[in-house]
């Protein structure tokens, strides 16, 4: 589910559907290989469609990078749960994790591509969000 490449911004993919999250992660890998830390999570705590804070926290941990982590989400609950997870992080990490307002699949691929070039967290987020601009 991940590989560690400290230095580049990590990418976390959060979808209500584990299949979508995993599939988006596969597409990211195809684009950028192992150049960025990557993790995905999807599904509620019982394995149904939904998102859960514990899964998101674990994914952030897996994709952690000193450069920060960009989270790509699909629908409302994924965003709300991701923001909740960010607030529950240790204080020194909180400011280095951003939830992007971008489509989950396209945003993840663009964000990872930007990250693989060594861009900052702000630049990674901006690139992903250009989809909605």
Partner 1 sequence: MSLDRVARERLVRALARSVIEHADELTSLDQAIGDGDHGLNMKRGFEAVLAALPGLADKLLPEMLKAIGMTLVMKVGGASGPLVGTFFMELGKALPEQPSRADLVAATEKAIDAVKARGRSEAGQKTLLDVLVPVHAVLAGGGDAKAIATEAAQAADRTTPMQAIRGRASFLGERSIGHMDPGSRSVSLLIGAAVETLEFEVNT
CA distance linking residue 84 with residue 109, whole number of Å: 24
| Known catalytic membership, residue 16 | yes
48 scored as a contact of partner 1 (CB under 8 A)? yes
Work out which of 6, 7, 66, 76 binds partner 1, going by CB under 8 A: 76
**Pattern of binders to partner 1 over 78-107, x per CB under 8 A?**
-xxx-xx-----------------------
CA distance linking residue 90 with residue 100, whole number of Å: 20
The least CB distance from residue 4 to partner 1, in Å, is 26
118 scored as a contact of partner 1 (CB under 8 A)? no
Give the dihedral sign, CA 51/57/63/64: positive
Q: Is 31 exposed, middle or buried (0-12, 13-18, 19+ CB in 10 A)?
A: middle
Count of residues that interact with partner 1, criterion CB under 8 A: 19
CA distance linking residue 76 with residue 67, whole number of Å: 26
119 scored as a contact of partner 1 (CB under 8 A)? no
Contact residues toward partner 1 (CB under 8 A) are 16, 44-46, 48-54, 75-77, 79-81, 83-84
């Amino acid at each position: 589910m991940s590989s560690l490449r400290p230095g580049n911004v990590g990418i976390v993919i959060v979808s209500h559907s584990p299949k979508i999250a995993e599939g988006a992660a596969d597409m990211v890998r195809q684009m950028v290989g192992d150049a960025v830390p990557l993790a995905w999570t999807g599904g509620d705590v019982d394995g149904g469609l939904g998102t859960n804070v514990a899964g998101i926290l674990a994914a952030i941990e897996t994709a952690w990078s000193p450069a920060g982590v960009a989270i790509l989400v699909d629908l409302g609950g994924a965003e709300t749960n991701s923001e909740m997870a960010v607030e529950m992080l240790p204080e020194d990490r909180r400011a280095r994790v951003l939830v992007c307002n971008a489509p989950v699949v396209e945003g993840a691929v663009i964000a990872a591509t930007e990250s693989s070039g060594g861009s900052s967290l702000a630049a990674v987020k901006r690139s992903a969000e250009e989809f909605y601009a």
